[in-house]
Amino acid sequence: MEFNQKEPIYTQIIDDIKVKLINGTYQLGQEIPSRRELAKTLGVNPNTVQRAYREMEDMKLIITARGQGSFITTDMIILETLREEALNAAVSQSIDMLRSFGKSDSEILDTMKRYLERGTSQ
C-alpha cells in the first residue's frame, strides 16, 4: 500500500480496508491482520493502526474480540451502505470532472447511456 501526503495514514488504512470489503478481498466475518502485524506489513507506527482500528470499531466496520482478534462485521447492511457510498462518490467525482470539461448534464447523461449500452469503455 502506498500512502499519499494529502490525508492521514490512519484514514488511508480505513479506506483500504473498506475497498477490500467492497471488492470481496475481505468477506463478512473474516479475521483481519492484528494491529502489530498490519503495522509491520505497512511499515507504520502501531499507534497509527490502533487508531484506524478504533475508528473502524466505532463505525461498526470491524469487531474486536479480546484474545481472538479483529473481524470484519457480519452486518450486510453495513456492506451495502459502503457500496452505495462508494458508488455515489465515484459518480459524483465523474460528473464533476466532466462538467469541468465543459460538458452539459444532458451531454453527460447521453455519454453515460451510450457507454452502458455498449458495455465497453469509449
Same structural domain, 16 and 36? yes
Residue 67 lies in a domain: yes
What distance in Å separates the CA atoms of residue 114 and residue 26, rounded to the nearest whole number? Answer: 33
Same structural domain, 56 and 16? yes
Helices and strands counted in the chain (H then E): 5, 3
Residue 56 lies in a domain: yes
Supply the range of the domain harboring residue 15: 9-74
Same structural domain, 82 and 69? no
Enter the pTM of the model: 0.81
Same structural domain, 51 and 92? no
Confidence of residue 1 (pLDDT cuts 50, 70, 90): confident
Residue 65 lies in a domain: yes
| Number of domains observed in the structure of the chain | 2
Q: What's the pLDDT tens digit per position in 24-36?
A: 999 999 999 999 9
Residue 4 lies in a domain: no
Bridge-based pairing of strands 69-72 and 31-32 is antiparallel
Same structural domain, 16 and 65? yes
Alpha carbon distances (Å) from 122 to 18, 37, 119: 29, 42, 9
Residue 55 lies in a domain: yes
C-alpha cell at 99: 462538467
| CB neighbour class for 57 (10 Å; exposed up to 12, middle 13-18, buried from 19) | middle
Give residue 65's Cα distance to chain centre. 23
Same structural domain, 64 and 25? yes
Q: What's the pLDDT tens digit per position in 37-68?
A: 999 999 999 999 999 999 999 999 999 998 89
